[in-house]
Structure 1
Amino acid sequence: MCEKEKFQVTVNNKNVDVIIRLAENENDLEQIINIENICFPPAEAAKREDFIDRYKAFKENFVVAEVDNTLIGFVNGNTTDKPELPDELYHDVSLHKPDGDYQTVFGLDVIPEYRHQGVAGHLMEYLIKLSKLRGKKGMVLTCKDHLIHFYEKFGFKHQGVSNSTHGGSVWNDMVYIF
């Protein structure tokens, strides 16, 4: 599996170490839930119960960013057999296929004071590397228009506007075939 990774960012004119690792415990889960509520509007944020169910079903797909034992961001998703991310995957953990060919990304969250410093990029790179090590064929996600370019930098291809109605927003399908 992937080892922990460490890099530095500057916050308030101070260099701090950020560690990227897999989620490890219930304390991580509580912090993940709090971060989700900071980063997404209520209509789009995953509910507490959904996170608890997801963590039980696919804890191995939760990657976190940590500073001084406090989480500052995370990325998570399940695995599936098809290179698509229908809305039902967000709410029905029984659809998770541990040996599925594609890693999904449900959310990539970084708290505001650590944004625009590469934390989200490190989280994505870690999940991509992990997915490749696990023998996945690729990754899928949905994103808003302003994030298409961000994900294209990692190798994702824009597939057009998604059928997703999650949170009443317009989403774009993105696929990265390894």
Structure 2
Amino acid sequence: MLTFQPAKPNQLDAIMTIENQGFTPDEAATKPSMAERIDRISDTFIVASQDQQVLGYVVGPASDERYLSDNLYDHLTANNPADRYQTVLSLAVAKDARDQHIGSQLLAELAKVARAQNRTTITLTCLKKLVPFYERNGYVNEGVSDSAHAGETWYNMVKTL
């Protein structure tokens, strides 16, 4: 049975394995950055696991801006209860656990947490190939992002809660 809970420091190695399976070296978070996320925003860092094995995760800080800015990847503060937006910096599923709808379930869990924290919207950026996945999960493509992260073209995806 799949369970969802906040990320814990002892899961960092498993999380980094999944991060590096899901993103190129230029796109992926560093281990110190991911450890900082676990430390500062564990309330919005959700891990999916089965029998103690991490199968995927979703993470992002609260924000007062509709769209992600690249500085969110570099500097992180604790979630501010007044912020209206929930961001997604990373959503990744272990290679051997894909095609089981775990990514969609993680997005649903994050939406529950965001609603409980009185956020009105979830916002993220994704590559063009992932736009249909997010649209199936209720997100709207609001066009090309200003992000220059990893030298890629990113799309702003927004879901109203």
TM-score grouping bracket, smaller chain normalisation: over 0.9
Q: CA deviation at 1:154?
A: 2.3
Identity %: 33
Which of 49, 54, 59 is the matching residue for 1:66? 49
Aligned to 1:7: none
The answer to whether structure 1 residue 22 and structure 2 residue 18 are counterparts is: no
Aligned to 1:98: 80
Structure with more strand by fraction: 1
Q: CA deviation at 1:56?
A: 1.7
Root mean square deviation of aligned Cα: 1.3
Q: Give structure 2 stretches of 5+ with no counterpart.
A: none
Q: Give structure 1 stretches of 5+ with no counterpart.
A: 1-16
Q: Which moved more, 1:76-85 or 1:26-35?
A: 26-35
Aligned to 2:141: 158
Structure 2: how far apart are the matches of 1:130 and 1:54?
A: 16
The answer to whether structure 1 residue 83 and structure 2 residue 66 are counterparts is: yes
The Cα offsets for residues 18-65 of structure 1, whole Å up to 9 and x where unpaired, read as 222222x21123321221112211010001111122222111111111
Give the secondary-structure state (helix, strand or coil) at the position aligned to 1:60: helix
AA of the residue aligned to 2:129: H
The Cα offsets for residues 57-91 of structure 1, whole Å up to 9 and x where unpaired, read as 11111111112111011000000112110111111
AA of the residue aligned to 1:98: N
Contact 2:15 2:56 in 1 (8 A): yes
Structure 2: how far apart are the matches of 1:61 and 1:138?
A: 14
Structure 2: how far apart are the matches of 1:113 and 1:52?
A: 24
Give the secondary-structure state (helix, strand or coil) at the position aligned to 1:63: strand
